[in-house]
Amino acid sequence: MSSQQQTVDELIRSDYEHGFVTAIESDTVPPGLNESVIRTISAKKNEPEWMLTLRLQAYQHWLTMEHPDWAHVQHPPIDFQAVSYYSAPKRKEDGPQSLDEVDPQLLDAYNKLGIPLEEQKALAGVAVDAVFDSVSVATTFRKNLADVGVIFCSMSEAVQEYPELVQKYLGTVVPYKDNFFACLNAAVFTDGTFVYIPEGVRCPMELSTYFRINEANTGQFERTLIIAEAGSHVSYLEGCTAPMRDENQLHAAVVELIVMDDAKIKYSTVQNWYPGDAEGRGGIYNFVTKRGDCRGARSHISWTQVETGSAITWKYPSCILRGDDSVGEFYSVAVTRGMQQADTGTKMIHLGRNTRSTIVSKGISAGRGQNTYRGLVRMTPRAENARNHSQCDSLLIGDRCGAHTFPYIEVRNPTAKVEHEATTSKIGDDQLFYCRQRGLSEEDAVSMIVNGFCKEVFNELPMEFAVEAQKLLNLTLEGAVG
């Protein structure tokens, strides 16, 4: 037991791997939020009038809203006036036309993150959009994608180049009135990713965005919009990191997915924002609204997330299962250690007939981490023969952490069927002994058992991401076990 505890402690203390700061000259708006800041952001981005109007509308509404307090997390009040709402790496010209023109120091930063654009381009054929602080700095592979009609660009570019698409879909899944953070995002979002897959197109490669918060006192408010037209298919990956800083940084993103008849979006996240130090100093407040709208019949959204970072994670990637026979999936691994807190889960809103949803959530708490699954399954009167199955398992490592499960199940159709199961336990002594009897060290045994615990979720990730996620999990748990 004591040696187990020791290993646990070591694991918990292991350092944040991505905690470097990149020295880049950047163009940052001074901290504070008011109408003129929003006008500045809009002007810097050379936005059309309708975009500015949307922002100002959201801002006015935000002023009437209160910070939500229902999540199982604790933090001091956030001073929204102390945050800088815009930070862009300064560039000599108007912007890079290709990767070669991107600031080498920036590329170096990505290299340190282990996701060299060049290499990825060559090796994996993954098209990458990278969002550094608030703006999108490079989008690879645009041309290859354009050949099949796929649009993959930054949100800023989309506003300029595809305004009719943006205007048609932006805010239709997550309206600005939805919640406090989504509303803030609608007012101040600076960039993000825009993806459009035309009818019948199967996107020829995985699309990927890496997010990084670099500047001090900077909030990151990106906005992602993915539209999959009838019969199309896309797999999208996002990864996130941030440097180590003593103060808390705010990340309030919004992701909207729209899926038409027979289309599918697979959305995978590996979130490794800086979690703060062992005493809970610093770290990212990750307040994210992600929602997908299965508008078409037989449409399909699959969310997979591996959440190992952030001081606080508050996110509920959800599916509105509107189209008949549509399918929603949520696969999640959330790890909290140190002083991390996570309140995460999903909402499955069944509106259409024969809609199906699956929820698999694996929570791992170590150190003094608090890990909460919160989920809603709603079967509306129209949702004939809808089905949901949820499995939420929690693993506790050490006696100072907490694991909580708060599912909400609302059923208004007698033909619907809902099954929910949850368990909470520690790693079995007998499992540990068995592995050690076969010669494995305690730490390897724990890592193996925890990876087994998460297997169902990792299986959902694209291959490369699965490897990265497993590495990240092992790193996170390193020394934490017993």
* Per-residue mark of binding to another protein, 377-396 (x: CB under 8 A): --x-x------------x-x
How many chain residues bind another protein (CB under 8 A)? 61
Give Cβ neighbours of residue 293 (< 8 Å, ≥ 6 apart): 172, 173, 256, 257, 258, 259, 320, 322
- Residue 155 is which amino acid? M
Count Cβ atoms below 10 Å from residue 1 Cβ, excluding itself. Answer: 7
347 beta partners: 376
Assign 3-class secondary structure to 250-300. Answer: EECCEEEEEECCCCEEEEEEEECCCCCCCCCCCEEEEEEEEEEEECCCCCE
Single out the residue of 21, 200, 428, 467 in contact with another protein (rule: CB under 8 A).
428
Q: Is 452 left (phi over 0), alpha (psi -120 to 50) or beta?
A: alpha
Closer by beta carbon to another protein, 125 or else 381? 381
Interface with another protein in residues 320-379 (CB under 8 A): 379
402 vs 368: CA distance, rounded Å? 7
Q: Applying CB under 8 A, which part among 51-59, 156-164, 289-297, 449-457 lies near another protein?
A: 449-457
Using CB under 8 A, which of 311, 339, 418, 461 touches another protein? 418
Question: What is the SS3 assignment for 482?
Answer: coil
- Please report how close the Cβ of residue 382 comes to another protein at its closest, in angstroms: 11
| Residue 186 DSSP SS3 | helix
Residue from the set 422, 466, 480, 481 that interacts with another protein by CB under 8 A: 422
Query: DSSP character for 78?
Result: P
φ, ψ dihedrals at 45, nearest 5°: -95, 5
The one among 288, 401, 461, 469 contacting another protein by CB under 8 A: 401
429 belongs to the binding site for another protein (CB under 8 A): yes
CA distances, 481 to each of 219, 371, 404, 477 (Å): 34, 17, 20, 7
- Least Cβ distance, residue 18 to another protein (angstroms): 27
The stretch near another protein (CB under 8 A) out of 253-261, 296-304, 334-342, 438-446 is 438-446
Residue 434 CB, nearest approach to another protein (Å): 4
Q: Which of 425, 463, 470, 481 binds another protein (CB under 8 A)?
A: 425
Which of 184, 397, 469, 477 touches another protein by CB under 8 A? Answer: 397
Measured from the CB atom, the residue of 61 and 404 that comes closer to another protein is: 404
Identity of the residue, 119 or 419, whose beta carbon is nearer to another protein in the bound complex: 419
Burial of 31 (0-12, 13-18, 19+ CB in 10 A): middle
Q: Is the alpha carbon torsion for 414, 419, 420, 425 positive or negative?
A: positive
What are the residues whose beta carbons fall under 8 Å from the beta carbon of 97, sequence distance 6 or more?
none
Binding residue (CB under 8 A) for another protein from 14, 57, 160, 424: 424
Residue 465 CB-density burial (10 A; 0-12 exposed, 13-18 middle, 19+ buried):
buried
Amino acid identity, position 5: Q
Closest CB to another protein among residues 160, 424: 424
Whose Cβ is closer to another protein: residue 98's or residue 459's? 459
- Return the number of the residue (8 or 150) whose C-beta is nearest another protein: 8
In the complex, minimum distance from the CB of residue 412 to another protein, in angstroms, rounded to a whole number: 5
Chain positions 52 to 81 lying near another protein, rule: CB under 8 A, are: 70
441 binds another protein (CB under 8 A): yes
Cβ–Cβ under 8 Å, residues 321 and 388: no
Select from 29-37, 244-252, 330-338, 416-424 the region that touches another protein (CB under 8 A): 416-424
Binding site for another protein (CB under 8 A): 1, 3, 70, 379, 381, 394, 396-426, 428-431, 433-442, 444-445, 448-449, 451-456
